[in-house]
Amino acid sequence: MQSFLRHLSVLSLLLIFGFACQGVTTSTAGSKSGPERNGLDRQVRVFVTETGSEITLGEMIVRLASHEAVFLGETHLDEVTHSVEEKVYEGLLGLTNDQVVLALEMFERDVQPVVDDYIQGRIDETAFLAAARPWGNYRTGYRGMIELARARRSPVVAANTPISVRRAMAFGGAEAFHTLPAEQRAFLPPELLPNTDRYWERFARVVRGHGHAGMAQDTEAMLYSTQSLWDNTMGWSCAEALEAHPEHVVLHVNGGFHTAWRDGTVLQLLTRRPQTDVATVQISSVSDLSGLEADDLDPGYADFHVFTERRGRGLQDGDYAVHVPREAEYRLHLPAAAHPGTRVPLLIWLPSDGLTAADGLALWREEIGSDAAIAVLDSPFPQIEENLRRGGRWYWDETFARDVGAMSFVIDRIARTIPRDYPVDAERIVVAGEGTGATVVALTSWYSDDIARTIAAAPSRFTKLAEQGLPDPPQEIDGVQRTILVTESDRAFWEGEVEAWRSVGRPSQLEIVDSTESALERLRNQVRTALGLASTAPAGGGTPLQLTLPVDTTLGRQWARREAWRLHRDGRPVSFAPRDPETESESSERRVLALRGEAGVPDEAAAFGPETFAEGRHLPLAPGAFGGTTVVVIPAGASAADREAWSLLAEEDVLKKRSRFHSLRVAFESDGPSLPEVLAALREGGRRNVLIVPAAFCASAETMRSLRAAVGTDIDEMTLAWSPGLGADL
């Protein structure tokens, strides 16, 4: 769980920093509609970090009331967080007889007169919002505290550096600071004081990839940076408030990065006013309060760590959001030998974009299914692929950190759930993936200390990794084994990433391979070893077999890989590659994974024909709860004998042998009932649920689009699904 908290911390800080440094669009639309106030204690858990003891929110407020200054470090957009802040403010007012000064990062010092006028009732809210430049999430985030201060006539301090000053200082350094006009200089402290090296190291880790990391190595430049201006100005504002309002508690609300580890704004106050009695609170939003473990808190992170139930988000980039429970689906295979007295190892597998959990499960069940449990995750974002098949993707570039962060929680939950419910050895779990799935595995393994063994094979779409913040170095030795298999063309990027993560105590083994297929073959061997399974290396000798595909597609490779791994397991020397007659070895036996009639494949070279499906096996079933019809489209190049054989299979309706709710029909690209004609007949017969699949091992996207165009648009009364070939079950 330590890794869970660190992961949460880094992702939260990324959101905090990005929101604060880029500014917030002002908006007055909407009204505050946060979570219900009653039962707030059920939406939070509060820990004293030094002891790990858990207390109530009310008990924390009582303890805070004895301090001179209290810093609330928040994630700016979380609804329950803002409810906690309002509750803390209200509680302190009650305990101190209204002797509380509310100081806010969210207002800048040049609007202090406007804030004072509103708090004292001299102007109305419309005038206040028009002049005070509130953050875009003001109504859902901070309005409650401001209205409470107005009702009590309690002072509010606009604590931050004005945007006009930040613009004047941009890239100007010390010279710009010392030459500011007097009216702007008045909004800054007389002297800028440095933050600690640890603070800037942490800053560099969080903002790497965003053009700021290099600056963090230049102490002089960082002293005059926006980040330093904010910390200095907010710390100075708090010091001024304490002097102006003796016997008051100053409650400062800011982004969590500014006060974590008592650095930043806290340090700036204590440097100016060393005797101040300070308490710090960090508030973190989580999706699962019950999964927290008090023993894993970082004592120095804050005096109190408040975790809030993630329920909703305030205004950001024009959007609001609510958080709702969502299933993360996966498929699970248990070997027949698994029983309560025998615990088997577990592989958690993430396939690449475009592939499904069913694809991944079929692949690994062929390889290790008799010896290990296999859990294959479905990607969270379904989409229709170019080949018209339903696939999915793991993340979007715009929301990369959030999407991958969510998957890390899913992986952690699956790794905990399966050994609890099934005879699986929790000490022998391997998390692995390929393509984009491998990218998710790599980042998840770097953030987590809980996954003992991870393998990422040929990661793809990985450039957003370089923008992700680095967590703080672990407090103890990291025993995780991480392996990343990449091709030579990707070496430079991954060497840089591996070195960056090694610098924060998360080493990885980088292995260079000559192709994606080599990466997956090496991964296959490493997975077996990590799971404690015997090697399946061919005994040697005999003529090597070369499997080839007439059309090279990601899905076709996935289906073909199953056959290659099966033969390999059975001791046959085998390789798999796209078909290339010019480079095929004369010393190899070749098998073309194709059906007879496929374009460009001689009948004698094709591995399959209609006889393969005589018993209804290997034919895909139409999806749907109440069955449906599978329509196999026979290519124009099929021989007369094969055309007749396919027609006979349809007449016998061989799918009925497998399911009385499914049936088979065939359509022909030439010289027979066409696909539109077959669909029209099905519709007239009251059949609406149809799967269309060409008689090919795995057809190209162009072939599938051609079939889709042939169907036309008159299909509103039908539900059509598509599969690019019959190779999935061969």
DSSP one-letter string for 602-661: -GGGEEE-GGGGTTSTTPPPPPSTT-EEEEEEEPTT--HHHHHHHHHHHHHTGGGGT-TT
For residues 131 and 554, the model is more confident at 131
Quick one: average pLDDT of 13-28? 34
Q: What integer pLDDT is reported at residue 9 of this predicted model?
A: 43
State the average pLDDT over residues 614-619: 89
Sign of torsion, CA 681 682 688 691?
Answer: negative
Of all residues in the chain, what percent carry a pLDDT higher than 90?
A: 66
pLDDT at residue 34 is higher than 60? no
Q: Is the pLDDT of residue 319 over 60?
A: yes
CB count in 10 Å sphere of residue 274? 7
Distance CA(200)–CA(179), nearest Å, equals 26
- The DSSP line for 283-312 is EEEES-GGG--GGG--TTT-SEEEEEE--E
Q: Label residue 121 left, alpha or beta by phi (over 0 means left) and psi (-120 to 50 means alpha).
A: left
The confidence score (pLDDT) of residue 444 equals 93
pLDDT value of residue 692: 96
Calpha distance 83→452 (Å, rounded): 38
Token pair of 285 as six digits:
């939003």
pLDDT band at 713 (very low <50, low <70, confident <90, very high): confident
Partners of residue 369 on adjacent β-strands: none
- Tens-digit pLDDT profile for residues 620-630: 999 887 889 99
Average pLDDT, the chain: 88
Question: Does residue 584 carry a pLDDT above 60?
Answer: no
pLDDT of residue 279 exceeding 70, the answer is yes
Residue 29's pLDDT band, with cuts at 50, 70 and 90, is very low
Half-sphere exposure at residue 548, Cβ-oriented, CA atoms within 13 angstroms: 20
| Count of helices and strands (H, E) across the chain | 23, 27
Would you say residue 572 has pLDDT above 80?
A: no
Higher pLDDT, 336 or 572: 336
Query: Domains in the chain, please, with CATH?
Result: 46-322 (3.40.50.11550), 330-530 (3.40.50.1820), 545-608 (no CATH), 610-729 (3.40.50.1400)
Nearest residue to 514 (alpha-carbon basis) of 490, 488, 495: 488
Question: Are the C-beta atoms of 14 and 208 separated by less than 8 Å?
Answer: no
Question: Is the predicted pLDDT of residue 395 greater than 70, yes or no?
Answer: yes
> Distance between CA atoms of 294 and 303, rounded to whole angstroms?
14
Q: What is the pLDDT of residue 474?
A: 73
The model's pLDDT over 513-550, given as tens digits with 9 standing for 90+, comes to 998 888 988 999 999 999 999 876 655 556 778 888 88
pLDDT, residue 3, reads 44
pLDDT above 50 for 71: yes
- For residues 646 and 337, the model is more confident at 646
Q: Report the share of the chain in percent with pLDDT over 70.
A: 90
Q: Hey, is 254 helix, strand or coil?
A: strand
Confidence of residue 672 (pLDDT cuts 50, 70, 90): confident
pLDDT tens-digit readout, 256-271 = 999 999 999 999 999 9
pLDDT reading at 390 higher than 80 = yes
Q: What is the mean pLDDT of residues 131-160?
A: 96
714, two tokens: 């008159």
Q: What are phi and psi of 196, to 5 degrees?
A: -80, 160
Q: What is the dihedral of CA 614, 620, 626, 629, to 10 degrees?
A: -70
Q: How far apart are CA 653 and CA 32, in angstroms?
A: 62
The answer to whether residue 142 scores a pLDDT higher than 50 is yes
Kindly report, residue by residue over 405-445, the tens digit of the pLDDT. 899 989 999 999 999 999 999 999 999 999 999 999 999 99
Task: Give CA–CA dist 245/248, Å, rounded.
Answer: 6
Least confident of 211-220, 248-257, 284-293, 378-387: 211-220
